[in-house]
Structure 1
Amino acid sequence: MTQTVPVISPLVIPSSLDPGDPAAADFIAAGQLLNDHMLELWGNTDFHDSPATQLAGCRPSPVRRRVLLAARSGREILGLATLSLPLADNTHSASVKVVVAPQARRAGLGSRLYAAVEQAAAAGGRRTILSETDHPERPAAGSGGTLAPKSGAGSIPADAAAVFASKSGFSLEQVERISRLDLAATAVGQEALDAAAAAAGADYGLEFWRGACPERLVDAYARLKQTMSVAPPMAGLDVEEEQWDAARVREAERKALDMDAEVLVSAVRHLPTGALAGHTVLMVFNSNPAVAFQDDTLVLREHRGHRLGMLLKAANLVRLREELPETARIWTWNAAENEHMLAINDELGFQPAGYSGEWQKVIGGAS
């Protein structure tokens, strides 16, 4: 019996999830493929997104547009390539992800999907393609060996995902440690916050908001967000500073609201000048309330050395427990060379859960 070769074509991002809309049905099936992939990879549903959250995340905004390419056999979606195109800055680059259903692997479909999504990136004028591979930590490393990044810090297993990225022409620029905090297993809270506040001294005070940044702080917060875009170690990744203003902050808040996410922000103010000196962000999706994701943590260079990183994280941890008591776990990502932030996380009780590879490829004949 001849097997049908899957056909790769654009997947429409629907205007709604109306069950009578074929585009909605395809989108929901593609989202389920992504969720199944993360379940297979991690063995849990911590990275599961609802269809509504996925749709809100894929809708275009002033700063980003997404393209989806699906591999279909009849009506069945066997693979998906996603392309994320920055529009406000970093317009030289694109981020890609390729997922293939287990029953369709080892037949060249992943390579076909990647070739199609690279072509779409090139058609959009992009010269740098970024991608990420996740590698859960396991008791046995296996016999496949490891890969070290150009940064020289950390490593990932040379598993199927890493081999696919290498064969597709990507270079491994950086490794990030993926860490998880079990909130039931740590007593870190108010005591740690009090100790950090004492170390910070009388020149610093905390601000907190859930959802929308107060209008009186939004311009200062935009400056922190812009600095954060290039503050962490970037190794050799071709990433430019993002351009943030109050309008972009409000757009990000609207996007989070559309995705049904709760966003908790702790910021620290330098009281003698009134300036914001740093911030940290936690995000919880209401469709999966047991899981929080650590986003930004930044302390401006001129304010470092006062335990403000610990102050911010401990403050947001206390707020998380008060505001969203269903949350049981926090996930975070840090560059393997970011020893200072990793030390703070270790002190808070985070445990290594895996590693991610940060990959880069230059296309279009550029060097």
Structure 2
Amino acid sequence: MSLQIEQLWIPDSLDGEDSHDFLAAVEVSRRVRQSIWGSDDLAYTPLEKLYELRDPYERQVLLVARLDGRIVGVADISLPLLGDVEVAEFTLDILPEAQGRGVGRGLIGAAEHFARAEGRRHLFVDTNHPAASLGDGVESLLPDSGPGFVPLSSRSVDFARRGGYVLERIEQFSSCALPLDTVLEGDLLAEAESANAGRYRLHHWRDRCPEQWLADVAALDSSAEDLTLAEAAEAGMPPEDWEDYDAEALRRAEEIAMAQGRRTVVTAVEHIESGALVGVTTISVLPQRQDVVFQDETHVHLGHRGNKLGLLLKISNMQQLQDLFPDVRVIYTWNALENRYLLTVNQQLGFHTAGVTGLWQKQLPDFRTPKVT
């Protein structure tokens, strides 16, 4: 057996002769997601992955593992270029038939070596566990903070622990079949509208925020006092970035999404008396898979909670989604388990737990040369 780890060349397009290995690597990741979740809904198409690799605010590097010349594993390394630039995030995909042959150890070792060379010392990796593996009586491993668990018998859990990674927290992964039942849809909308007693007005848009609401939406996305830790986690926004997220950053994020071919369906809620937006929710639609969509962040201003605005925003945005993209059949979302309100709203809407994701961290020693004084 010959194992070789190397950095993957990223082609300019999918049509050239140099795209063969890239296509093979994307196929490995698709097959791994198929084996974990029972479908490839969470897998990128080759074109979508190519778009993602061109993100100007996050450098991505792919390492591949070959067994006897065949690509059987991929390590996707993400290096944020803004915010905490000492972070590196890894995603490891190894074909089931190649496990137990040193592929994972080879890939994670090479990924860590690469991250260290790039000055990254805060390493993150995730493990994924379908609902069927989380039944009663399963021996579990608890995270350092927050609720939830991962199954101790999981091969990926054992791999992360042996590699020196510590389980930091758990996110719940949920799915909801679309279209929604029309009776349920009507009942939930009536419930939400009754709770806010005509004090709020909804606004909808796609892809690009109207100029008049730009500052309000940026403030909702960035206000540390309005975001619980759970909501910040769901939004994927590290605390050090909150104060830096402004209207200009929002426009940059919109431009990146559109350049990657993604569509964004947005619903916001205005407090009529003040004329300010006090809540927003978004759904992302991938360019080549408009039957599979992803619920992104949902924010409600702290002073306006308790009026079922989260429910109002989500049910209204799902209605907009179904009108704009009639082929959609499923929506997926990840939530921090601490965020009981949004988890309850999701349950009302018909979301079911598909599994959990364990988020693991490892700190490399500070390898910077000390200053001589």
CA positional deviation for 1:53? 0.5
> Which residue identity does 1:346 align to in structure 2?
Q
**Distance in 1 (alpha carbons) for counterparts of 2:228 and 2:260:** 26
| Equivalent residue in structure 2 for 1:59, among 49, 54, 62 | 54
Q: Deviations over 1:85-107 (max 9, x none)?
A: 11111212121111222232112
User: Is the counterpart of residue 164 in structure 1 residue 159 in structure 2?
Assistant: yes
Aligned residue number for residue 76 of structure 2 = 82
**Distance in 2 (alpha carbons) for counterparts of 1:209 and 1:254:** 15
1:226/1:241 contact within 8 Å kept? no
| Equivalent residue in structure 1 for 2:205, among 192, 204, 209 | 209
2:267/2:281 contact within 8 Å kept? yes
CA positional deviation for 1:73? 4.1
Q: Where do residues 13-162 of structure 1 align in structure 2 (5 Å cutoff)?
A: 13-20=10-17, 22=18, 24-61=19-56, 63-73=57-67, 75-138=69-132, 141=135, 145-158=139-152, 159-162=154-157
Q: Deviations over 1:67-118 (max 9, x none)?
A: 1111124652121111111111121212111122223211222011111111
CA positional deviation for 1:142? 9.3
Query: What is the root-mean-square deviation of aligned Cα atoms in Å?
Result: 2.4
Aligned residue number for residue 272 of structure 1 = 273
SS, match of residue 218 in structure 2: helix
1:171/1:361 contact within 8 Å kept? yes
Distance 1:17 1:329, change over 3 A: same
Aligned residue number for residue 331 of structure 1 = 332
Distance 1:184 1:321, change over 3 A: closer
1:54/1:259 contact within 8 Å kept? no
1:189/1:317 contact within 8 Å kept? no
Runs of 4 or more, structure 1, over 4 Å off, are 139-144
Instruction: Give TM-score, length-normalised by structure 2.
Output: 0.89
Distance 1:101 1:142, change over 3 A: farther
Distance 1:196 1:230, change over 3 A: closer
User: Is the counterpart of residue 241 in structure 1 residue 236 in structure 2?
Assistant: no
Distance 1:232 1:201, change over 3 A: farther
CA positional deviation for 1:249? 2.0
Distance 1:251 1:27, change over 3 A: farther
Aligned residue number for residue 9 of structure 1 = 6
CA positional deviation for 1:300? 1.7
Distance 1:349 1:253, change over 3 A: same
SS, match of residue 37 in structure 1: helix
Aligned residue number for residue 294 of structure 1 = 295
2:60/2:78 contact within 8 Å kept? yes
**Distance in 1 (alpha carbons) for counterparts of 2:343 and 2:185:** 18
> Which residue identity does 1:9 align to in structure 2?
E
Alignment identity in percent? 35
**Distance in 2 (alpha carbons) for counterparts of 1:44 and 1:205:** 39
Q: Which runs of 5+ in 2 are unaligned?
A: 368-373
**Distance in 1 (alpha carbons) for counterparts of 2:296 and 2:108:** 28
Q: Deviations over 1:169-209 (max 9, x none)?
A: 11111111111112256443244223312312333211111
SS, match of residue 95 in structure 1: strand
SS, match of residue 176 in structure 1: strand
SS, match of residue 138 in structure 1: helix
Instruction: Give TM-score, length-normalised by structure 1.
Output: 0.90
SS, match of residue 149 in structure 1: coil
2:176/2:332 contact within 8 Å kept? yes
**Distance in 1 (alpha carbons) for counterparts of 2:217 and 2:79:** 24
Aligned residue number for residue 221 of structure 1 = 217
> Which residue identity does 1:133 align to in structure 2?
T
Distance 1:35 1:269, change over 3 A: same
**Distance in 1 (alpha carbons) for counterparts of 2:6 and 2:134:** 39
**Distance in 1 (alpha carbons) for counterparts of 2:22 and 2:137:** 38
SS, match of residue 79 in structure 2: strand
**Distance in 2 (alpha carbons) for counterparts of 1:198 and 1:64:** 43
Distance 1:122 1:348, change over 3 A: same
SS, match of residue 171 in structure 2: strand
Distance 1:231 1:185, change over 3 A: same
CA positional deviation for 1:254? 2.6
Q: Deviations over 1:134-193 (max 9, x none)?
A: 101117849862211122411121201111111111111111111111225644324422
> Which residue identity does 2:312 align to in structure 1?
L
**Distance in 1 (alpha carbons) for counterparts of 2:227 and 2:86:** 16
Q: Which runs of 5+ in 1 are unaligned?
A: none
Distance 1:256 1:150, change over 3 A: same
Aligned length: 359
User: Is the counterpart of residue 356 in structure 1 residue 350 in structure 2?
Assistant: no
1:48/1:288 contact within 8 Å kept? no
**Distance in 1 (alpha carbons) for counterparts of 2:308 and 2:9:** 48
